[in-house]
A = this chain, B = another copy of it.
Amino acid sequence: MDPSDIKALTFDVFGTVVDWRTSIAREARDVGRAKGVEADWDAFADDWRRLYQPSMAAVIEGRRPWTKLDVLHRESLETVLGTHAVTGLSEAEKENLNRAWHRLDGWPDTVPGLTRLKRRYVLATLSNGNVAMMVNMAKRAGLPWDAILGAEPARHYKADTECYLITADYLGLEPSEILMIAAHNPDLIRAAKLGFRTAFVPRPTEHGAGQTTNLKPEQDYDVVAWDFTDLAQKLGC
């Protein structure tokens, strides 16, 4: 791949750009402390995230009209609070905890890498997170996006092909002019099938120290980089 053929970079966000697990566990722990509730907060974060795919399934399969991820997260939160016997939260407290997904921290290399990449490329999100979530997260974490795209503007969650192709259409580009960046093999394999260029950036502690998935590239991607500064280096930024 010649980096000069690439006009835009699209990013998976949860896990790839931000460390959702540490951020969610921290906010949940703070809530528990305030409420005098003890729980395994890493497991709480994992369980909440585990409901993510099932919660989108009804939308993807057409059994439910378009629904923002904020709403799906809020529904899943009820389940997770029950599982971990976290009680006594007011509606406002639950809403605030749900908004923890708007306050995720980048990985240490995220902002330095994106800042270098932005000099040469259009940087856009291609995430299942809704626009307000992505905007608020970017504002707090300093993520220098040029455009917030992905599921909500496309009205299709990944892995629907529309999510990828409508994003390319918004950018006014062919998929072959776009480099999709993700820490997850399935996301890149789907993007590659649609003609996107692909870059794998592993995040080996996304799911904690015992992570067993997505440690290695499972296909021959255009770029494999250790982190976003390495990605910038490999793209000549």
Given known pairs A148-B147, A148-B148, the reply for A171 and B132 (CB within 8 Å) is yes
Once the chains bind, are B131 and A138 in contact (CB under 8 Å)?
A: no
Give the residues in chain B near A138, CB-CB below 8 Å: 146
Q: Please name the residue on chain B nearest to A133 by beta carbon.
A: B172
Smallest distance from the beta carbon of A93 to chain B beta carbons, Å?
A: 19
The residue from B130, B139, B145, B149 contacting A122, defined by CB atoms under 8 A apart: B139
Q: Is A187 an interface residue (CB 8 A)?
A: no
Given known pairs A130-B172, A132-B170, A170-B132, the reply for A146 and B139 (CB within 8 Å) is yes
When each residue 142-171 of chain A gets 1 if its CB lies under 8 Å from chain B and 0 otherwise, what string results? Answer: 000111110011000000000000000011
Smallest distance from the beta carbon of A132 to chain B beta carbons, Å?
A: 3
Bound: A148/B171 CA distance, A: 11
Q: Is A135 an interface residue (CB 8 A)?
A: yes
Bound: A135/B136 CA distance, A: 19
Smallest distance from the beta carbon of A118 to chain B beta carbons, Å?
A: 9
Number of interface residues, chain A, beta carbon within 8 A: 22
Smallest distance from the beta carbon of A1 to chain B beta carbons, Å?
A: 22
Q: Is A70 an interface residue (CB 8 A)?
A: yes
Once the chains bind, are A172 and B132 in contact (CB under 8 Å)?
A: yes
Bound: A148/B173 CA distance, A: 16
The residue from B70, B146, B149, B170 contacting A172, defined by CB atoms under 8 A apart: B70
Q: Please name the residue on chain B nearest to A153 by beta carbon.
A: B153
Bound: A10/B148 CA distance, A: 15
Bound: A149/B170 CA distance, A: 11
Smallest distance from the beta carbon of A166 to chain B beta carbons, Å?
A: 10
Q: Please name the residue on chain B nearest to A68 by beta carbon.
A: B172
Once the chains bind, are B147 and A135 in contact (CB under 8 Å)?
A: yes
